[in-house]
Amino acid sequence: MSIKLFVEAIIKVFLGILLVGILLFLPGTINYWQGWVFMEVLFIPMFIAGILMMIKNPELLRRRLNNKEKEREQKTVIVLSGIMFIVGFIIAGFNYRYQWLVFPEIVTWIAVILFLISYVLYGEVLRENEYLLRTIEVEKGQKLIDTGLYGIVRHPMYSATLLLFLTMPLILGSPISFIIFLTYPIIINIRINNEEEVLEKDLEGYKEYKKRVKYKMIPFIW
């Protein structure tokens, strides 16, 4: 286990906790109970998964921590996603504080279950595809993965993140934030289109794979 990698991972998790906490609780209140539920279901599984990855596959963790995009379109996606999260979380805090529009409490708990399911799907994708990166690039010796979830949709990681992100405002109890997070399918479609251009050009067999697996993220729909 690399001490440098461990420190880098811990720092990123700590900064994530700090940033999300500020965005949720500063405009709202420390008593925002859905905010605390969200922080727990977001960061506890993330921390556990990071520890397991560090023990079993530190190289994958190292590559996952590398988020320096080379493609111009992907830099745009990162900026738009960042704006979505910042605005959505701030609005959720204000929404709780002033009780503008609030989902029933049961919505939060159903969303927690769906959120944890999305984490399981995400973990399965990581298990299936050791080449999975946060950046758009094809590594030397990379092979096409077309089994498991990749035999159902071409981008199961984005299927998991779609479920993950759309359940976030539901956990937070904010219909207004949910509307804001509905921009994510549009944002991720930009990323997918650019990614497929790169994969068709650089990954052997990807064009044939697209013909076999017709759906990008949602079977029979998208």
Reading the block at residue 218, the tokens are 């949602």
What's the mean pLDDT in 75-84? 90
Report the alpha-carbon distance of residue 50 to residue 64 in Å, rounded.
10
* Predicted pLDDT at 60: 67
Is the pLDDT higher at 207 or at 41?
Answer: 41
pLDDT at 73 over 60: yes
CATH number of 3-212: 1.20.120.1630
Sign of CA dihedral 143, 146, 150, 154: positive
Question: pLDDT averaged over the chain?
Answer: 87
pLDDT at 162 over 60: yes
Return the minimum-mean-pLDDT range out of 90-94, 128-132, 160-164, 165-169. 128-132
What's the mean pLDDT in 162-178? 97
* Predicted pLDDT at 69: 58
pLDDT at 208 over 60: yes
> Which tens digits make up the pLDDT trace of 14-67?
999 999 999 999 998 999 999 999 999 999 988 888 787 777 777 666 766 665
> Which tens digits make up the pLDDT trace of 109-149?
999 999 999 999 988 888 887 666 655 556 666 778 888 88
CA dihedral 189, 193, 196, 201 (to 10 degrees): -160
Give the residue ranges of DSSP H helices in the chain. Answer: 3-25, 33-56, 58-65, 72-98, 105-128, 156-171, 175-181, 184-202, 206-212
* Predicted pLDDT at 177: 98
**Distances in whole angstroms, Cα of residue 121 to Cα of each of 56, 149, 151, 187:** 18, 9, 14, 21
| Banded model confidence at residue 156, pLDDT cuts 50, 70, 90 | very high
**Distances in whole angstroms, Cα of residue 131 to Cα of each of 9, 90, 127, 163, 212:** 19, 35, 10, 22, 21
